[in-house]
Amino acid sequence: MQLIIHKNNRMDSLDALRGIAILAMVFYHALYDVSDIFGYNVPFFGFLSLLEPPFAGLFILLAGVSSRYSHNNLKRGAKVLVLALIVSAATIIFMPSQSIYFGILHFFGCAILLFELVRPAVDRIPQKTAFVLWTVLFAVTYTMPFSHIIGFPGLFGVTLPNFLLNTPHIYALGFPDGNFFSADFFPMIPWFFLFLIGTVIGTPIKEHRLPDKFYTARIPFFATAGRNTLLIYALHQPVIYGLLYLFFKLFKLG
């Protein structure tokens, strides 16, 4: 069977998964805008908000996988980080109540750059050991930015020292203080550990060690979206907000 790999080293199956994740995120953000910005009740939004972390997690996991395919992670990470800073500036200036100081784009830019710097060291860890290590670290730090506990709240854990909770401007690491707010927040801890899990998974994928169907599957619509995730993420919020604003004004609902 013929592998579906494009000349720029992209694989349809990975792009399709990435496309599903980004479109799910766009759908969630549209509902978020209707509910939190325009103030209209969205049935089951509370339930749907529970689906955001899994889809964001899939997005992050795939970013880790993609780092195994990139020919220049430094350039790729810097490009994403510049876009993230533009998003921050735009939200702070035009939508201060929805300011983004360290969202998922900021995370991607920093994670890609950091991975490239630590890659020689992490690649020395045997794959099975690395997978278990990053999975455990992700699990025990998953709630840390909000619970301030390393472990599993309600079961067992270690409470973070007060100086980490009271120090401003280290929120990017996963230690937001009591005054911090960001409409989109994906700190390095715990999410970098999930990114690293993706880099471990990316090795056997790149070496074509998965079943043939993974490499031959085609879902054109989602794959196209997956090949344009950065553009979609950069444009989706202003486009959604503009369309909703016109809709509510047109029907005199706002």
Q: Is the peptide bond preceding residue 168 cis, with omega within 30 degrees of 0?
A: no
Q: Is 227 helix (H, G, I), strand (E, B) or coil?
A: coil
The proportion of the chain whose per-residue pLDDT surpasses 70, expressed as a percent, equals 95
pLDDT in tens, 55-95: 899 999 999 999 998 889 999 999 999 999 999 999 999 88
pLDDT in tens, 25-35: 899 888 888 88
Model-wide pTM > 0.85: yes
Cβ within 8 Å of residue 4, ≥6 positions away: 11, 12, 13, 215, 216, 217, 218
As a whole number, mean pLDDT of residues 165-185 equals: 92
Tokens for 160, please give them.
């973070």
Cβ within 8 Å of residue 72, ≥6 positions away: none
Q: What is the rounded CA–CA span in Å between residue 218 and residue 5?
A: 11
- Band of the pLDDT at 6, cuts 50, 70, 90? very low
